[in-house]
Structure 1
Amino acid sequence: MKNVMFVCKHNSRRSQMAEGFARTLGEGKITVTSSGLAINEVDPIAVKVMSEVGIDISQQSSKPLDNFNPEDYDIVISLCGCGVNLPEAWVIREVFEDWQLDDPAGGSLEIFRQVRDQVKERVIKLIASLICHSNPT
């Protein structure tokens, strides 16, 4: 089972959504954590838009990247373009991607929903690619 780290600047919106989707859609296939370069409260609007699609992230919390060891993760995904600011040990994992999704902070509910849907689409593709690589035909 692959260990996935989603990282974002504040670990309050995009990375929290990715963690929620990956926990739900990747259950039994991957383990997942999210963290940030800095920490903040999980955005209540992110919690709301995730609940609209049946995923509860209300108990998730913002965690600093410094609390984790990069060697414990196979896959590191930056959601905000912060990959350029990550220590090298994080970007040389088996898989590193920088999705560079827009920050919905300060936006309308519709903006949050658009970002949520983009995150979901990317997480689905990530999980599918991991399954294909672990079960070659």
Structure 2
Amino acid sequence: MAEGFAKQLLNRTWRIESAGLETHGLNPLAVKIMAEKGIDISHQYSKLIEPTYLSHSDLVVTLCGDARDRCPMTPPTVKRIHWPLPDPASAVGDQEAVLTVFRQVRDQIEKRVAELADQLNR
């Protein structure tokens, strides 16, 4: 979801990629709730973090749980930001309850990416 918002809100001088500590495939509920915002993430796919790629990055944003602590080391020149958001994929309950959690997390991500984009696009 963060990749989808970043590609929409950041100017084209930024190369946007997302990856994780594990791959689980694209969550269909994430695709559904991002479509509600007019953003198609159906072409995205789950990728593992590449330490070499990280070392050539300007900025790394980690989301959820222990991602900040488990993310591979980066050189001191790479700025790191952590957004401690809940992982919506771990939500339990009926489909509507789970969708509510996905929407809440989506909206938090949108707000944070928009704030970051305001800073970076200056």
Question: TM-score category by the smaller chain?
Answer: 0.7 to 0.9
Q: Mind listing any 5+ residue stretches in structure 1 that lack a counterpart?
A: 1-16, 133-137
Q: Mind listing any 5+ residue stretches in structure 2 that lack a counterpart?
A: 93-97
Distance apart, 1:72 and its partner CA: 2.2
Q: Is the 8 A contact 1:20 1:57 kept in 2?
A: yes
- Is residue 2:87 matched to residue 1:103? yes
Change in CA separation of 1:53 and 1:42 when aligned onto 2, cut-off 3 Å: same
Q: Which residue of 49, 53, 58 maps to 1:74? A: 58
CA distance in 2, matches of 1:46, 1:112: 7
CA distance in 2, matches of 1:89, 1:31: 17
Distance apart, 1:27 and its partner CA: 3.9
TM-score where L is the length of structure 2: 0.85
CA distance in 2, matches of 1:29, 1:110: 34
The residue that corresponds to 1:124 in the other structure is 114
Amino acid at match of 2:15: T
Amino acid at match of 1:121: K
Task: After superposition, give the CA deviation of every residue in 1:23-79 in whole Å (9 maximum; x if it has no partner).
Answer: 111142422000011111110000000000000000100011137522321000001
Task: After superposition, give the CA deviation of every residue in 1:90-118 in whole Å (9 maximum; x if it has no partner).
Answer: 6x343201101011123421111110000
Change in CA separation of 1:93 and 1:111 when aligned onto 2, cut-off 3 Å: farther
CA distance in 2, matches of 1:93, 1:77: 14
TM-score where L is the length of structure 1: 0.77
The residue that corresponds to 1:30 in the other structure is 14
CA distance in 1, matches of 2:24, 2:5: 20
Q: Is the 8 A contact 2:55 2:78 kept in 1?
A: no
Distance apart, 1:131 and its partner CA: 2.1
CA distance in 1, matches of 2:99, 2:26: 15
Amino acid at match of 1:71: S
Q: How does 1:1-137 map to 2 (within 5 A)?
A: 17-66=1-50, 68-81=52-65, 82-89=67-74, 92-105=76-89, 106-107=91-92, 108-132=98-122
Change in CA separation of 1:93 and 1:76 when aligned onto 2, cut-off 3 Å: farther
| RMSD, aligned CA | 1.7
Ranges of 4+ aligned residues in structure 1 off by more than 4 Å:
none
Distance apart, 1:89 and its partner CA: 1.7
